[in-house]
């Protein structure tokens, strides 16, 4: 994480150079997080794109690159949550919820995750409640400290600690069930 470079953006947030810089630095991170939360490449791209649109349209500029990053991660997290809620409702309406939810052959996932263990990880993550999933994803893939995660999620640090731990515990259980060699 390029922490040493802090761009004072202020009003220049949407100037071409600055926007592009933040985009370059943050897109891979956002994408990684979005992908681990949603498990779908196309959705991740949509979420990242939408987050940057909102970033561009933001009226009050963010003071520096770190704040921009936290803000963008928070937006992606919220968008992912909305998406999941929506899809959950749709799937329930179709009475296919449980079947689809665990199906490894859903579009977008199969082609890209040829690697079987990657698929198992994605499935195990999907089984976590959204709150725990975001906490562990931000910790493991976002490379954020508990304090940063607390800022992004808007919860206390001790709450982050508990969520990360519970996510780990549940992940271990799910992975054991999938018989991945975790020990």
Partner 1 sequence: MCPEKDILSAFFDGELDERFVSMIEAHLSECDSCREILAGFEDVRTVLHDAEIPDCAPSKRLAWSFLSDKFSSLYPRPVWKRRLLIPAPAMAAVLLLVLVLGAGLMVSIFNRRDDFGFDTVTRTHFENVQFASFEQIIEYLDARGNGGALIFTLPQDTRLQYLSEPTFIKAADYKRGRD
Considering only the stretches 27-35, 59-67, 78-86, 88-96, report the one whose residues sit in contact with partner 1 under the rule CB under 8 A.
27-35
User: Which two tokens mark 137?
Assistant: 């994803």
For partner 1, the binding residues in 51-80 under the rule CB under 8 A are: 52-53, 56
Minimum separation from the CB atom of position 17 to partner 1 (A): 10
Per rule CB under 8 A, is residue 48 in the interface with partner 1?
A: yes
Report the residue number, 32 or 87, with the smaller CB distance to partner 1: 32
User: Which two tokens mark 134?
Assistant: 């975001």
What is the number of other CB atoms lying within 10 angstroms of the CB of residue 102? Answer: 11
Per rule CB under 8 A, is residue 94 in the interface with partner 1?
A: no
Report the residue number, 4 or 183, with the smaller CB distance to partner 1: 183
Residues 6+ apart with CB under 8 A from 57: none
Per rule CB under 8 A, is residue 156 in the interface with partner 1?
A: no
Minimum separation from the CB atom of position 13 to partner 1 (A): 12
Helix (H, G, I), strand (E, B) or coil at 17: helix
Q: Are 112 and 163 in contact (CB under 8 A)?
A: no
Complete DSSP assignment for 83-131? HHHHHHHHHHHTT-HHHHHT-TT-TTTTTT--SHHHHHHHHHHHHS-HH
> Is the CA virtual torsion 174, 176, 178, 183 positive or negative?
positive
* Helix axes 116-127 and 16-38, enclosed angle (nearest 10): 90
Per rule CB under 8 A, is residue 123 in the interface with partner 1?
A: no
Report the residue number, 91 or 162, with the smaller CB distance to partner 1: 162
Minimum separation from the CB atom of position 167 to partner 1 (A): 9
Q: Which residues bind partner 1 (CB under 8 A)?
A: 14, 16, 19-20, 23, 27-28, 31-32, 35-36, 41, 44-45, 48-49, 52-53, 56, 112-115, 117-118, 120-122, 136, 139-141, 145-146, 161-162, 164-166, 168-169, 171-172, 175, 180, 182-183
């Amino acid at each position: 994480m390029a922490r040493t470079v802090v761009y004072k953006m202020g009003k220049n947030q949407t100037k071409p150079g600055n926007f592009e810089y933040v985009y370059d630095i943050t897109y891979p991170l956002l994408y990684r997080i979005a992908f681990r939360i949603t498990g779908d490449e196309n959705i991740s791209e949509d979420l990242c794109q939408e987050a940057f649109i909102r970033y561009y349209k933001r009226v009050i500029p963010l003071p520096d690159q770190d704040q921009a990053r936290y803000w963008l991660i928070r937006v992606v997290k919220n968008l992912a949550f909305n998406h999941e809620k929506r899809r959950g409702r749709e799937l329930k309406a179709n009475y296919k919820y449980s079947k689809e939810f665990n199906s490894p052959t859903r579009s977008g996932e199969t082609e890209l995750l040829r690697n079987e263990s990657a698929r198992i990880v994605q499935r195990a993550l999907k089984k976590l409640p959204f709150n725990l999933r975001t906490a562990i994803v931000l910790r493991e893939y976002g490379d954020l400290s508990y304090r940063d995660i607390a800022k992004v999620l808007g919860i206390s640090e001790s709450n982050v600690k508990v969520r990360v731990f519970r996510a780990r515990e549940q992940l271990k259980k799910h992975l054991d069930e999938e018989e991945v060699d975790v020990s």
